[in-house]
């Protein structure tokens, strides 16, 4: 990785105005995440309008299963991005090259293994989730088709993690924009014109993801000199010390992602047992939650890379400024979204479906959606400092407390203990989203994020 290559491909996030740098980095992420949310949202909107509540239930259940299956991609790619940012800040180009090859081989192999196992257990999975009879066949079509495209999701996330760790958030945005446009067009064609039902929506998603991954991989190959990665078979050999570091940070981050998704699966099973209408409503809640997470995830990703590079370069004085901008940005956006939801609740729900039975119960979602918005805002600052510092133990603590104990416990308290049933499950889920703020806030105020961790600031 030459110096001239570094100037063109690697963005230095340790110098200059913090606000400008964060927004320059976060805005492409925001648009990319928004587009990703849109193409996930399009499946539900098109299916909901064409098929109705049963189709919405299928997309909701199948989508949540797919999110659970990507927990390793989210965890290890998030860890890889942070480690690359630390290596870049510490000028460790050879380790960047080793990490790229290790991530590709390890994660693509994992994705194939997960796809095979889940296909073999497909009926058991839907039965375990109490999938409503009205949407069972639709859900099976959606889930199996998306499982077939799991390798594309993992692959895209690997390439995006590499680029974002080096300070490039613009190109991942372009790749996902291509997927979003393609998915929307194919959704309308397959579902609306060719009447391929829920299978058509899933097929459109897989094709969009596949094209996005192939284009991103071609881009990485064409610029391989800039990364010092030549794509030869030897380059994909797993480097044990680098894998050990990836596992050290990635396992807690993957557990965190898995714990949250598993808790949502538990809640989904409880909700599905209430019938198809509430299963469809859960889809609306989850999709609006995903939209709320757009800003949170964007600023978490940008903030983590900036924190990682600045800690790697020992520019500790910049970290509080980064966290402050991340938090303020999220809170402003969440306030705007909350006002819109409170002012136009019916219009929000009618975006998804015209099913009268579903719309009649939609008021149950409003307050949980607002709480979810503010929880997402506070999480971004917490995860920026936790992930950016590479604190694997703290990530594991957040995974346990937020992902399982708080989320499932509060949902059970409100849903069963207080007799609120489905609305109580949504209350518990949304309130648990504030737990990372408590843990991350204590960690930040303690100053322990300044403590050097393995590999920081050491050149090789």
Alpha carbons 186 and 209: distance in angstroms, whole number: 12
Alpha carbons 269 and 98: distance in angstroms, whole number: 42
Residue 77 inside a domain? The answer is: yes
Residue 455 inside a domain? The answer is: no
Domain count, the chain: 1
Residue 446 inside a domain? The answer is: yes
How is 204-270 classified by DSSP, letter by letter?
HHHHHHHHHHHHHHHHHHHTHHHHT----GGGGSPPHHHHHHHHHHHHHHHHHHHHHHHHHHHHHHH
Residue 132 inside a domain? The answer is: yes
Q: CA-CA-CA-CA torsion for 387, 390, 394, 400, nearest 10 degrees?
A: 60
Q: Are 9 and 166 in contact (CB under 8 A)?
A: yes
Residue 244 inside a domain? The answer is: yes
pLDDT for 105: 92
Residue 352 inside a domain? The answer is: yes
How many Å separate Cα 334 from the centre of its chain? Answer: 18
Residue 6 inside a domain? The answer is: no
When computed from its CA atoms, the radius of gyration of the chain, rounded to whole angstroms, is 21
Residue 457 inside a domain? The answer is: no
pLDDT per position in the chain (460 positions), as tens?
444 334 444 556 666 777 777 877 677 767 766 766 666 677 777 887 787 778 888 888 888 788 778 877 878 888 888 888 777 767 777 788 888 889 899 999 999 999 999 999 999 999 888 888 888 898 999 899 989 989 998 888 888 888 877 777 678 778 878 888 888 889 889 988 888 888 988 899 889 889 988 998 888 888 877 766 778 888 888 888 889 888 888 887 787 777 777 887 888 889 888 888 888 888 788 878 877 777 787 888 788 878 887 887 788 888 898 899 888 888 888 899 899 989 988 888 887 777 788 888 888 899 999 999 999 888 888 888 888 887 767 877 887 787 678 888 999 999 999 999 888 999 999 998 898 898 889 999 988 888 755 444 444 4
Domain that holds residue 325: 21-450
Tokens 């975006």 identify what position?
351
State if pTM tops 0.75. no
How is 392-411 classified by DSSP, letter by letter?
HHHHHHHIIIIIIIIHHHHH
């Amino acid at each position: 990785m030459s110096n001239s290559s570094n100037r063109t491909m690697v963005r230095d996030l340790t110098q200059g105005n913090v606000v400008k740098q964060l927004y320059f980095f976060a805005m492409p992420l925001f648009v990319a995440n928004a587009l990703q949310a849109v193409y996930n949202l399009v499946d539900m909107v098109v299916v909901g309008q064409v098929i109705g509540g049963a189709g919405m239930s299928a997309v909701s259940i199948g989508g949540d299963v797919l999110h659970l299956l990507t927990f390793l991609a989210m965890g290890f790619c998030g860890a890889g991005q942070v480690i690359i940012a630390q290596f870049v800040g510490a000028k460790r180009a050879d380790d960047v090259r080793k990490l790229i090859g290790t991530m590709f081989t390890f994660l693509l192999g994992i994705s194939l293994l997960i796809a095979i196992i889940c296909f073999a257990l497909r009926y058991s999975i839907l039965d375990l989730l109490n999938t409503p009879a009205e949407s069972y066949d639709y859900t099976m079509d959606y889930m199996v088709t998306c499982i077939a495209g799991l390798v594309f999701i993992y692959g895209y996330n690997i390439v995006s993690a590499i680029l974002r760790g080096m300070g490039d958030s613009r190109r991942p945005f372009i790749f996902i924009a291509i997927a979003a446009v393609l998915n929307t067009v194919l959704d309308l064609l397959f579902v609306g014109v060719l009447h391929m039902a829920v299978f058509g929506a899933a097929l459109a998603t897989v094709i969009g993801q596949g094209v996005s991954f192939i284009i991103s991989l071609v881009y990485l190959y064409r610029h391989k000199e800039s990364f010092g990665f030549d794509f030869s078979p030897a380059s994909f050999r797993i480097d044990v010390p680098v894998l050990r570091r990836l596992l050290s940070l990635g396992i807690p981050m993957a557990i965190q992602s898995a714990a949250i998704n598993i808790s949502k699966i538990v809640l989904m099973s409880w909700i599905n047992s209430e019938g198809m209408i509430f299963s469809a409503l859960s889809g609306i809640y989850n999709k609006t939650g995903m939209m709320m997470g757009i800003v949170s995830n964007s600023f978490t990703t940008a903030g983590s890379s900036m924190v990682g590079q600045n800690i790697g370069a020992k520019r500790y004085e910049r970290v509080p400024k980064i966290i402050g901008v991340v938090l303020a940005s999220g809170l402003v956006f969440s306030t705007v979204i909350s006002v819109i939801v409170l002012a136009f609740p019916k219009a929000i729900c009618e975006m998804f479906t015209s099913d009268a039975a579903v719309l009649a119960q939609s008021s149950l979602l409003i307050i949980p959606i607002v709480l979810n918005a503010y929880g997402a805002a506070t999480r971004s600052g917490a995860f920026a400092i936790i992930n950016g510092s590479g604190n694997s133990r703290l990530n594991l603590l957040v995974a346990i407390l937020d992902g399982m104990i708080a989320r499932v416990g509060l949902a059970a308290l409100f849903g069963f203990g207080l007799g609120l049933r489905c609305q109580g499950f949504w209350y518990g889920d949304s309130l648990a989203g504030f737990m990372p703020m408590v843990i991350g806030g204590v960690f930040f105020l303690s100053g322990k994020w300044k403590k050097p961790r393995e590999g920081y600031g050491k050149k090789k």
